[in-house]
Amino acid sequence: MFIDQVKVFLRAGKGGNGCVSFRREWGVPRGGPDGGRGGDGGSIYLVADEGLNSLSYFRFHPINKAGKGAHGQGNNRQGRKGNDLYLHLPVGTIVREKERDEILFDFLKPGQKFQAAKGGKGGRGNASFASPTHQAPREAERGQPGEERELILELKLIADVGIVGFPNVGKSTLISKISSARPVIADYPFTTLIPHLGVVDTNESRSFVVADIPGLIEGAHLGHGLGISFLKHVERTKILIHLIDVSPHTGRDPGKDYETVMKELEAYSPQLIRRHQILVANKIDLLGEEKERLKEVQNLARSKGLPFFAISALKEKGLRPLLQEIGRILELLEGKKD
């Protein structure tokens, strides 16, 4: 199950209580205080794990607790520390406190670790309170409670390139031909129900990550089709491939499709329509003599000043120049940053 937003409750371990105790030994009638301190409570850490791509674990484990610290004991024995809890989540997860917008942590790389709830400190035992003027202290501290937190975890996949377009235009076919991702492909709309990531390796540029998301239709921002909430998974991309089906039998108007998708992108976030975009006409293998639609998309690209490519994802035609252009833009963008 693909889950990209969850609420979790975390409770770190309580610290153990300090102990009140006096040394009892044969021949030592009034031994001094020897109550040890309580162990600290365990903390809860969130850790980004490369192998995960969903927050579904938390759907079934919304409440997570770390271990309590053990109480201190006589003979100056300190209580054992409570066990820490490590919760694994996918790279791209953003951590927020419930009912606050502030981001506590953004997991951008595998292995990153964030202490989300700190264990309570163990209380001091009576041995710690002894002083020359106070030789038989009877006081000890209680362990402190562990931190409690209600967090919202939101996954926004991290990819360099996002593929957007109407349903059935060949988005999943494209990612399956250029990467090792294997989403389901079929000749009906809304085949893809969850986003997929694929790594594209070319010899010419650095490898990059592509995200395939469900198709968009008119009114997606009103919840039509699968809605637009999946667009959060292309929010962090640097380039969008806007894929348009130019095969004759669809009866669709490519120019109108383009505008519709742009409107839905804008409804999600005005920043998305300002992202670097490459217009790609797909299914050119079905064109035959009817090149009208292809020309239309080409003119559209010219009028909008967008890079344009014509491909057949299925027949793997025209893919190389497209990948080269993506590599070129990514290098350009990264060069600018330095």
Ligand X SMILES: Nc1nc2c(ncn2[C@@H]2O[C@H](COP(=O)(O)OP(=O)(O)OP(=O)(O)O)[C@@H](O)[C@H]2O)c(=O)[nH]1
CB of 244 to Mg ion, least distance (A): 15
Nearer to ligand X, 273 or 286 (CB): 286
Paired residues of 172 in beta bridges: none
154, exposed or middle or buried, with CB in 10 Å at 0-12, 13-18, 19+? middle
Establish if 191 lies at the interface with Mg ion (CB under 5 A).
Answer: yes
Binding mask 300-319 for ligand X (x = CB under 6 A): ------------xxx-----
**Interface stretch with Mg ion, choices 42-50, 121-129, 157-165, 171-179 (CB under 5 A):** 171-179
What sign has the CA pseudo-torsion 31, 33, 39, 41? positive
3-state per-residue secondary structure call for 48-100: EECCCCCCHHHHHCCEEECCCCCCCECCCECCCCCCCEEEEEECCEEEEECCC
Taking each helix axis from N to C end, the angle separating 292-304 and 254-268, rounded to the nearest 10 degrees, works out to 40
Nearer to ligand X, 128 or 173 (CB): 173
Query: What is the distance between the alpha carbons of residues 192 and 16, in angstroms, rounded to a whole number?
Result: 51
Nearer to Mg ion, 135 or 180 (CB): 180
* CA dist 140 → 18, 123, 125, 146 (Å): 5, 7, 5, 19
Establish if 314 lies at the interface with Mg ion (CB under 5 A).
Answer: no
Cα Rg for the chain, rounded, in angstroms?
29
Among 177, 125, 163, 147, CA closest to 277: 163
* Interface pick for ligand X out of 286, 307, 318, 324 (rule CB under 6 A): 286
* Interface pick for ligand X out of 145, 189, 227, 248 (rule CB under 6 A): 189
* Interface pick for ligand X out of 54, 112, 191, 229 (rule CB under 6 A): 191
Question: What are the phi and psi torsion angles at 192 (to 5°)?
Answer: -85, 120
The contacts of residue 156 (CB under 8 Å, 6+ apart) are 4, 92, 93, 94, 232, 233, 235, 236
Query: What is the distance between the alpha carbons of residues 106 and 96, in angstroms, rounded to a whole number?
Result: 9
Establish if 197 lies at the interface with ligand X (CB under 6 A).
Answer: no
Binding mask 137-176 for ligand X (x = CB under 6 A): ------------------------------xxxxxxx---
**Interface stretch with ligand X, choices 11-19, 97-105, 186-194, 259-267 (CB under 6 A):** 186-194
CB of 310 to Mg ion, least distance (A): 20
Among 16, 15, 17, 21, CA closest to 35: 21
* Interface pick for Mg ion out of 64, 78, 192, 237 (rule CB under 5 A): 192
**Interface stretch with ligand X, choices 25-33, 51-59, 130-138, 179-187 (CB under 6 A):** 179-187
Nearer to ligand X, 18 or 183 (CB): 183
101 interface partner picked from Mg ion, ligand X, none, CB below 5 to 8 A per type: none
Here the tokens at position 261 are 């998708």
* Interface pick for Mg ion out of 64, 172, 282, 312 (rule CB under 5 A): 172
**Interface stretch with Mg ion, choices 80-88, 172-180, 290-298, 321-329 (CB under 5 A):** 172-180
99 interface partner picked from Mg ion, ligand X, none, CB below 5 to 8 A per type: none
Residue ranges in contact with ligand X by CB under 6 A: 167-173, 185-187, 189-192, 214-215, 282-283, 285-286, 312-314
Residue ranges in contact with Mg ion by CB under 5 A: 171-172, 191-192
